[in-house]
């Protein structure tokens, strides 16, 4: 058996230039006033979880080049290559600045507030005191004048440690500074980092960390296991737990019985400059090359295991010992110990078999219902598996031990497998007909079992008389996917697009989904709540309110929770659930997750208008007229910000709920009256239906003075017009002649201008559909063109293929050769791919940063695979040098191919859905091409 085939993976998100950062290089960061503040070479970035705002010279900062950022009670201190700026944390306005370079002090490396409007500045040429209101500036100590300050940290009793570039650590107290000298001075040599926490000061070199109390007495000396690491940051969570960041790794140190031991590792792939926690316990990591990395606090409640080899989890079962876990998948199956997750093995004898269900008996023999038949194998000798097949039985789906034999469900019906005879015996209904497709077998009570089918509803098998009887579900429910029974005997049933409750007396419909399948699996979570595993994630359904009040999906971003079968949800211990998903296995602690995750609270981020308005508390007052009013919403949530959607309505104008994500709400020229803005927040972890009344818009009549001035203006204008008419009446005829000439000339000019305008509109339309860098189609143009081709393919029901193309190791190419060379490389690849297309209907577009997409109408899978190899060879022949590629010495591409027959599709939304699924399939094959070594195609 292979060791550790299920690789643990962390929930990590990344904020990069694509997410709005001005640079991937982050020098320093801090969390304050519900925002992440980031120092970059291109300005100070402020991230609230949804939006990135960039502050630079245009906003009043001294320079774009930021060195560090620290927070005060109401202000942010931004230190830069030219000096320091004090920023209001709410308005983001610069309220004070000092150019230290102009004063000959060098750059400002760091700053700390020492009182109202008083700051301690660490500069390139010494330590200084600055009063921002008066502008008074004074040197702290002549002994360190001219020496650079590296960092400063503040503790209790206004004690500040200052790290100098040459003379080591100094202590600043009551405007007096002195060297830090005690009997442990030898430990302070080669200091790489200083930190403060409620527990005291921490000073680190590459060998150890010393812990001082706020009286600067030694509390603890911690020897580091990795003697060569250079610590860049220490976060102390409590007296027994700290987070250490060295230049290339972030990890835990945990204290056990006075010994510090290394715990889990968070990040190992980035050059790290700084770390911080937010109020939600998310860990944020600022790097030199990879932007901002977020290690989600959800890792404390959600554990993910990704199979070493691509497989979907089809079944989760307890092993015979009641502790270990049997995992059946498409091609690979596993035995895992939940208690010790490092003990996991692939069941080699089942390799290559699609195992829909697995059972283990007392003799530790595995019985697996597979597409290929019934597989039987032993754990000690698992190199070979006995495979029992029968054309009358077909592909297996589920298995259940009854006495000495096994109840076996397949796509052709229900059977008993007699272990001694190694034969299948069919079990038919009273008319002798097969039950057809058996989806799952669930114990009921005693020797009775629920049998769910696709096509013939729900049945009960009685092991005493070996008969089956149908269960009446009221209305017609042909497809039953799962059933779960609680201690009171109430059953929850996933049938077609509905969730049903069944007691002895009646069946009640409690939920109806817009999808064709409401759930693949369902389990009782409590007396009034059920968990359902769907194609859209794990949902907690309240049977009293008839609503989904918690949902887990799309975690991490772009990794959707899609359940597979009725056996893909298993409760092992307390409220710990194991979820079998497409391509991975997830363990989730539902109660802790629900307790930890609070619904995001919507707020008004900003209000702007083309006309004057008053904003007082939560009331906007604006006069009637022609104007536009924009209201931007936000939620300081920091759990899964990208999943947030806002549902809103303006009571008094429209009562229907509308949806937006990050776009402002726009209203124009509302009639006189009062309007109430109500908002609900929907997101990927909680589905709170609470309505929040955020703001009132009062549209009032224009004032008396305004009306009087308007009347006078009209009166004066009317009199002037009458006087002018009488005075110039005799010139009317001559004026008419001149006017006619003018009209003719204007008509000609307008005709020419209209023609130019049409030409400009055409140019703009072409430009909006082109990728500005490569000159080929962009994603918007691709969707429109592909929609036209799909119409044609639907009409004639022809083949349609998609190629997803990715440049191999392009990040390494950018890092080595620079972004300008990277842009040139993208241009060359795009033009080369364009030269490979020879048919008018073929479409090439730039799909993302380094991704391209090609649509090939009337091309089947075999032809598309041939064309993909032509593209790969063409890029190879370009000969663009790439020294950092693991594939070869030149730039290469990988391609995922997806092909299908297009049947009748009547509307655009269905065509877009069809195209999206085909693109997703091509993207999956692209991922497989990368896994198999790149510079190749997979179809």
The pTM of this model reads 0.67
The sign of the CA dihedral 542, 543, 547, 553 is positive
Taking the C-alpha atoms of residue 730 and residue 770, their distance in angstroms, rounded to an integer, is 60
Domain 181-295: CATH architecture, name and number where available = 6 Propeller (2.120)
Under DSSP, is residue 97 helix (H, G, I), strand (E, B) or coil? strand
| 758 Cβ contact list (under 8 Å, min separation 6) | none
Q: What's the CA gap between 589 and 525, in Å, rounded?
A: 12
pLDDT digits (tens, 9 = 90+) for 57-69: 999 999 999 999 9
pLDDT in tens, 512-564: 988 889 999 999 998 899 999 998 889 999 998 888 888 888 776 667 789 99
| Helix or strand (DSSP H, E) at 37 | strand 35-40
Using the CB atoms, write b or e for 207-235: b if 16+ within 10 Å: eebbbbeeebeeebebebeeeebebbbbb
Instruction: Reply yes or no on domain 602-700 having CATH 3.30.365.10.
Output: no
Domain boundaries defined on the chain: 181-295, 484-597, 602-700, 779-938
> Which distant-in-sequence residues (6+ apart) come within 8 Å of 773 by Cβ?
823, 826, 827, 846
- The token duo for 300 is 């404390």
The residue length of the chain stands at 939
Helix (H, G, I), strand (E, B) or coil at 534: strand
Is the predicted pLDDT of residue 140 greater than 80, yes or no?
A: yes
d(CA 129, CA 140): 6
The per-residue pLDDT for range 833-874, each reduced to its tens digit, is 998 887 778 899 998 888 999 999 988 899 899 899 999 999
Q: Which CATH superfamily is domain 484-597 in?
A: YVTN repeat-like/Quinoprotein amine dehydrogenase (2.130.10.10)
pLDDT digits (tens, 9 = 90+) for 360-393: 998 889 999 999 999 999 866 656 789 999 889 9
CATH number of 779-938: 3.30.70.270
Q: Which residues contact residue 906 at a Cβ distance below 8 angstroms, ignoring those fewer than 6 apart? A: none
| Token pair of 419 as six digits | 């272990």
Range with the lowest mean pLDDT among 11-15, 319-323, 656-660? 11-15
Q: What are phi and psi of 561, to 5 degrees?
A: -85, 95
How far is Cα 294 from Cα 266, in angstroms, rounded to an integer? 10
The CA distance from 250 to 295, in Å, is: 10
Give the pLDDT of residue 74.
83
* Residue 844 dihedral angles phi and psi, to the nearest 5°: -120, 140
Task: Tell me the three state secondary structure of residue 799.
Answer: strand
More confident call, 469 vs 733: 469
Cα gap 334→355, rounded to integer Å: 10
Return d(Cα 97, Cα 153) in angstroms, integer.
21
Task: Name the β-bridge partners of 250.
Answer: 245, 267
Reported as a single tens digit per residue, the pLDDT across 626-660 is 888 999 888 877 676 667 888 999 998 888 888 88
The residues near 412 (Cβ < 8 Å, ≥ 6 apart) are 392, 393, 394, 434, 436, 437
What tokens appear for 805 in the block? 């193309």
Q: What is the model's pLDDT at position 767? A: 46
pLDDT at site 34 = 85
Section 167-177 average pLDDT: 89
């Amino acid at each position: 058996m292979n060791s550790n085939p299920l690789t643990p993976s962390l929930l990590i998100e990344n904020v990069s230039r694509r997410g709005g950062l001005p640079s991937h290089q982050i020098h320093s960061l801090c969390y304050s006033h519900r925002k992440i503040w980031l120092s970059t070479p291109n300005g100070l970035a402020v991230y609230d979880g949804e939006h990135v705002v960039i502050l630079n010279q245009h906003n009043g900062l001294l320079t774009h080049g930021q060195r560090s950022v620290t927070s005060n009670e109401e202000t942010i201190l931004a230190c830069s290559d030219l000096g320091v700026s004090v920023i209001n944390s709410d308005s983001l306005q610069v309220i004070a600045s000092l150019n230290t370079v102009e004063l000959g002090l060098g750059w400002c490396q760091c700053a700390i507030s020492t009182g109202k409007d008083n700051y301690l500045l660490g500069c390139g040429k010494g330590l200084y005191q600055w009063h921002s209101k008066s502008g008074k500036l004074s040197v702290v100590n002549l002994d360190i004048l001219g020496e650079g300050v590296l960092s400063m940290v503040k503790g209790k009793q206004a004690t500040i440690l200052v790290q100098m570039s040459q003379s080591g650590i100094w202590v600043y107290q009551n405007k007096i500074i002195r060297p830090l000298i005690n009997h442990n001075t030898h430990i302070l040599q080669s200091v790489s980092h200083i930190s403060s926490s409620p527990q005291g000061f921490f000073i680190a070199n590459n060998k150890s960390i010393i812990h001082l109390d706020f009286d600067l007495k030694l509390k603890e000396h911690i020897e580091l296991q990795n003697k060569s690491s250079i610590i860049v940051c220490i976060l102390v969570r409590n007296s027994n737990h700290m987070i250490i960041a060295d230049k290339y790794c972030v990890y835990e140190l945990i204290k056990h019985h006075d010994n510090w031991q290394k715990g889990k590792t968070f990040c190992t792939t980035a050059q790290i400059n700084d770390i911080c926690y937010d109020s939600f316990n998310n860990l944020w990591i600022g790097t030199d090359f990879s932007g901002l990395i977020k290690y989600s606090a959800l890792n404390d409640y959600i554990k993910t295991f990704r199979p070493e080899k691509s497989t979907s989890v089809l079944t989760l079962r307890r092993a015979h010992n009641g502790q270990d876990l049997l995992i059946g998948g498409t091609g690979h199956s596993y035995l895992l110990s939940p208690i010790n997750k490092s003990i996991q093995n692939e069941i080699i004898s089942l390799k290559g078999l699609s195992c829909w269900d697995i059972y283990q008996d007392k003799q530790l023999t595995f019985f697996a219902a597979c597409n290929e038949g019934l597989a039987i194998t032993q754990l000690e000798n698992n190199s070979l598996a006995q495979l029992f097949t029968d054309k009358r039985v077909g592909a297996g789906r589920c298995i259940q031990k009854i006495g000495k034999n096994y109840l076996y469900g397949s796509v052709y019906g229900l059977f008993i497998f007699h272990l001694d005879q190694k034969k299948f015996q069919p079990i038919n209904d009273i008319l002798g007909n097969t039950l057809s497709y058996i989806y799952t077998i669930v114990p009921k009570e005693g020797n009775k079992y629920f049998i769910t089918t696709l096509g013939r509803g729900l049945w009960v098998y009685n092991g005493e008389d070996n008969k089956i009887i149908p269960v009446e579900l009221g209305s017609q429910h042909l497809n039953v996917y799962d059933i779960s029974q609680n201690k009171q005997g109430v059953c929850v049933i996933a049938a077609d697009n509905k969730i049903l409750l069944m007691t002895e007396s009646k069946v009640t419909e409690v939920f109806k989904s817009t999808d064709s399948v409401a759930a693949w699996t369902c389990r009782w979570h409590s007396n009034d709540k059920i968990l359902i595993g769907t194609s859209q994630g794990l949902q907690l359904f309240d049977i009293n309110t008839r609503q989904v009040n918690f949902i887990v999906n799309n975690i991490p971003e772009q990794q959707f929770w899609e359940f597979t079968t009725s056996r893909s949800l298993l409760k092992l211990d307390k409220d710990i659930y194991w979820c079998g998903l497409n391509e991975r296995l997830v363990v989730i602690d539902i109660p802790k997750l629900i307790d930890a995750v609070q619904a995001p609270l919507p707020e008004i981020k900003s209000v702007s208008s083309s006309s004057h308005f008053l904003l007082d508390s939560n009331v906007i007052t604006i006069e009637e007229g022609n104007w536009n009013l924009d209201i931007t919403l936000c939620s300081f949530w920091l759990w899964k910000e990208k999943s947030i959607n806002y549902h809103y309505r303006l009571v008094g104008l429209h009562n229907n709920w509308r949806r937006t994500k990050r776009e402002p709400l726009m209203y124009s020229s509302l009639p006189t009256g009062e309007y109430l803005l109500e908002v609900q927040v929907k997101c990927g972890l909680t589905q709170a239906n609470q309505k929040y009344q955020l703001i009132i818009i009062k549209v009032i009549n224009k004032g008396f003075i305004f009306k009087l001035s308007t009347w006078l203006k009209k009166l004066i204008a009317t009199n002037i017009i009458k006087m002018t008419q009488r005075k110039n009446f005799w010139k009317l005829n001559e004026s008419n002649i001149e006017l006619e000439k003018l009209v003719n000339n204007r008509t000609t000019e307008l005709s020419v201008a209209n023609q130019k305008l049409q030409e400009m509109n055409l140019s703009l339309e072409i430009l909006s559909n082109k990728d500005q860098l490569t000159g080929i189609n962009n994603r918007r143009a691709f969707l429109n063109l592909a929609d036209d081709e799909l119409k044609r393919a639907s009409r004639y029901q022809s083949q349609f293929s998609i190629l997803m193309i990715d440049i191999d190791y392009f990040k390494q190419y950018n890092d080595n050769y620079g972004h300008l060379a990277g842009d040139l490389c993208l241009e060359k690849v795009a033009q080369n791919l364009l030269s490979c297309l020879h048919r008018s209907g073929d479409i090439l577009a730039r799909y993302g940063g380094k991704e391209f997409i090609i649509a090939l109408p009337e091309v089947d899978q075999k032809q598309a695979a041939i064309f993909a190899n032509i593209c790969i060879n063409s890029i190879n022949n370009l000969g663009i040098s790439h020294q950092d590629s693991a594939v070869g010495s030149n730039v290469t591409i990988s391609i995922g191919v997806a092909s299908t027959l297009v049947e009748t599709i009547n509307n655009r939304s269905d065509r877009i859905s069809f195209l999206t699924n085909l693109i997703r399939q091509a993207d999956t094959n692209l991922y497989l091409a990368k896994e198999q070594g790149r510079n190749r195609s997979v179809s």
